[in-house]
Structure 1
Amino acid sequence: MAYFVYITTNPAKSVLYIGVTGNMARRLAQHYDSRGNAETFAGRYFCHHLLYTEQFADITSAIAREKELKGWTRAKKDALIEEANPERAFLII
């Protein structure tokens, strides 16, 4: 099974959300369905547009990478995204 660390953003590309999942399509649908829901970070800030992904073979590595990325500065996260996705285009699964 594959696991993914991913970064989503809002339509204005002003907020980043980092998560981990074993089913990217389902997780993105959940983010989309929760938009406007003040009870979740992704919902509150409308973070349902995919900007970046990394794939892992085991969940332990994926969770470790998620925690690492969450500890980075915004500038470092932006540089990571722009290296893989220079136009910051919304990715489609």
Structure 2
Amino acid sequence: MPAFVYILASGRHGTLYVGATGDLARRLDQHRSGAVPGFTRDHRVTRLVHYELYDNVLEARARERTLKGWRRDWKISLIEQANPEWSDLTTTLI
């Protein structure tokens, strides 16, 4: 079953959050509605600025752990390679 790794931001060069999920649209709805207490709700981190698709959840979780271990400037570089304007990529999921 396919899975995603994603990076949310509060804004350009703002607070970042890295996560993994099997249903990105559903998970984004949870983050945006504040349905789940935690970091993204507390820091208003809701803009999808980067995502990657993987064949299965094991690959996605491995990549998530790798990205969480990266320095902040490396994550910013990754985002800006494909999304230099830090646009919300939610519309690309359709």
CA distance in 2, matches of 1:14, 1:89: 13
The match for 1:90 is: 88
Answer yes or no: is the 8 Å Cα contact 1:10–1:16 preserved in 2. Answer: yes
Q: Structure 1 residue runs of 4+, over 6 Å off?
A: none
Answer yes or no: is the 8 Å Cα contact 1:52–1:85 preserved in 2. Answer: yes
Deviation at 1:54, TM superposition (A): 0.4
| 1:69 and 2:32 matched | no
Task: Count residues with an aligned counterpart.
Answer: 91
1:36-80 deviation line (CA, Å, top 9, x unaligned) = x7x400111111110000000011110000000000000000000
Deviation at 1:83, TM superposition (A): 0.6
Deviation at 1:87, TM superposition (A): 1.3
* Paired residue type of 2:24: M
Distance 1:11 1:80, change over 3 A: closer
Aligned alpha-carbon RMSD (Å): 1.6
Percent identity between the two aligned chains: 41
Distance 1:13 1:76, change over 3 A: closer
* Paired residue type of 1:10: S
1:6-53 deviation line (CA, Å, top 9, x unaligned) = 000114641000000111110000000118x7x400111111110000
CA distance in 2, matches of 1:82, 1:52: 9
* 1:8-87 map, 5 Å: 8-11=8-11, 13-34=13-34, 39-87=37-85
> What TM-score, normalized to structure 2?
0.89
CA distance in 1, matches of 2:4, 2:12: 24
- Structure 1 unaligned regions, length at least 5: none
> What TM-score, normalized to structure 1?
0.90
- Structure 2 unaligned regions, length at least 5: none
